Structure 1
């Protein structure tokens, strides 16, 4: 019988990722702190539901984690009733969370004392891409561990980029989101200014996307999530702010002169304060437009 891949964290991204693995014929033993979520996904995909994170580590030699923060992962592994003691030597932890590189390195060092290896493998891509197995994955760790992780990750990925040592994937993910957040905010301002000048947002986007002002947000976010009024980009505002904080921390740690990074973080922090923790990140465009006394849809 094929040994299953463990998957802990069946939330917004974890759920479609498990479904993609199952379509590829991968046996999955999954766990979520909400038992009803794991049971539903088991019924829908044929995944086996575990009753604890420790049970996943006890049975699986490759375990994927997809949790909100490094603090959540540390608690899951080493907190009261933590799962790490259940992991056998030779187990590989594939952390796909958007964590803090320094915290990940520390976790990796603790796991290594019991013979457990770790890679970080955060993703870029939304729920739709997760369902299609079309994610970009940034993979950090030793060559041997990355080779092993790649075989597990391949069904979920359009591309897997080896970024360097453990923690480097999460550094790259935070920097990617810094560039993405800056692009989204400035495009929001551009559309608000243009709207007040008498330009139609949909026409502006067509022009931008055929010109040098295009970015991922103008191409893939504004029409389906902002101009439609849905604001359902499936990435919560607090998670974006968390990643921007990690990127700003990297700038401080490396002594980099990054005034724009600091400004982008400050703007998104202000948006979080205004919109609240349940807001989707695309609602920032609505906030920018409202502050200019206009709307984009």
Structure 2
């Protein structure tokens, strides 16, 4: 039986960790929130007590954390996962960017650690249901050992052995997803101002070539009912977009649509505050079009 560690029991991490319990392996967990730890312990996990203890006691460690800086400190910091122990496999499920994945691999691979970047997509519902997409970069041989655990979490695809390949795929995915929200908001604002019914517009788009992830999921669930609670923070979406723009700039790839999305997200946070959902981009577009706040 393998001892698995999971660090980061947030809105995505907690359900992913819970799904790992179904594999029958011993699962140790840690988080800044005592309540989050207690909820997993109630389901059968064990509390590690600290990040360092997690690394000391586990063979495989997963992380699901909000920012690259937090991931870096959790892995390489003085009280991090590798400060007192050396798990044989490390797998970062966070969206933390290709550069960090390369840095972690450079630090850990010489120590004999198989290092994986494996960001996920599919939202909280996908994390709960075990249907999220997992984009994996890392060594092929150890991937075959890791894959059954990833399959308990979702649907993994091995993008290649190059460190950061999973993170690169995630940034591509996030660009398309965020642009879909922006362009859907623009199209909807134009149609509404011309007098069209927004619900009927979404119905038509979802049976036409304009269908996308925003028309299929986000507008019916969060924008049309004006709840703007799809479950992904605008601040995290902005973090991901900035990662994308930085990596693209370093690669010499201009992303003008990415710049527009970044601007929309920044304006959304200014308008709605730090807890805004990323679907609130629609409010920014509607306001610019001179629409009533309840038009959606």
Q: TM-score, normalised by structure 1?
A: 0.93
Counterpart of 1:276 in structure 2 is: 273
CA contact (8 A) 1:237 1:281 kept: yes
Provide the C-alpha distance between the structure 2 equivalents of 1:279 and 1:269, rounded to a whole number of angstroms: 11
Tell me the residue number matched to 1:153. 150
Task: Determine the structure 2 residue equivalent to 1:61.
Answer: 59
The match for 2:74 among 63, 73, 76 is 76
Aligned to 1:239, which of 236, 239, 243? 236
Q: Secondary structure at the match of 1:136?
A: strand
Within 5 Å, give how 1:181-192 maps onto structure 2.
Answer: 181-192=178-189
2:83 is aligned to 85
Q: CA deviation at 1:24?
A: 4.3
Cα deviation 1:204-225 (Å, max 9, x = unaligned): 0010011111101100111111
Q: Determine the structure 2 residue equivalent to 1:162.
A: 158
Partners of 1:276 and 1:8 in 2: CA distance: 28
- Bigger Cα displacement from structure 2, 64-73 vs 100-109: 100-109
- In structure 2, the residue matched to 1:206 is 203
Distance 2:217 2:112 in 1: 43
Gaps of 5+ in 2: none
| Counterpart check, 1:258 vs 2:252 | no
Asked whether the equivalents of residues 123 and 138 of structure 1 are also in contact (C-alpha less than 8 Å), the reply is: yes
| Deviation, structure 1 residue 41 | 2.1
Residue 288 (str. 1) matches residue 267 (str. 2) = no
TM-superposed CA distance for 1:171, in Å, is 1.1
Secondary structure of the 1:161 match is: strand
Residue of structure 2 in register with 1:196 after alignment = 193
Aligned partners of 2:23 and 2:125: how far apart in 1? Answer: 17
- In the alignment, which residue of structure 2 is the partner of 1:20? 19
What's 2:32 paired with? 33
State the TM-score, normalized to the length of structure 2: 0.94
User: In 2, Cα distance between the equivalents of 1:131 and 1:258?
Assistant: 33
**1:180 partnered with 2:184:** no
Contact 1:66–1:97 under 8 Å retained in 2 = yes
1:6–1:63 contact (8 Å) kept in structure 2: yes
Tell whether the 8 Å contact from 2:264 to 2:281 is kept in structure 1 after alignment. Answer: no
Deviation at 1:245, TM superposition (A): 1.1
In the alignment of these two chains, the number of paired residues is 293
Q: Distance in 1 between matches of 2:180 and 2:262?
A: 13
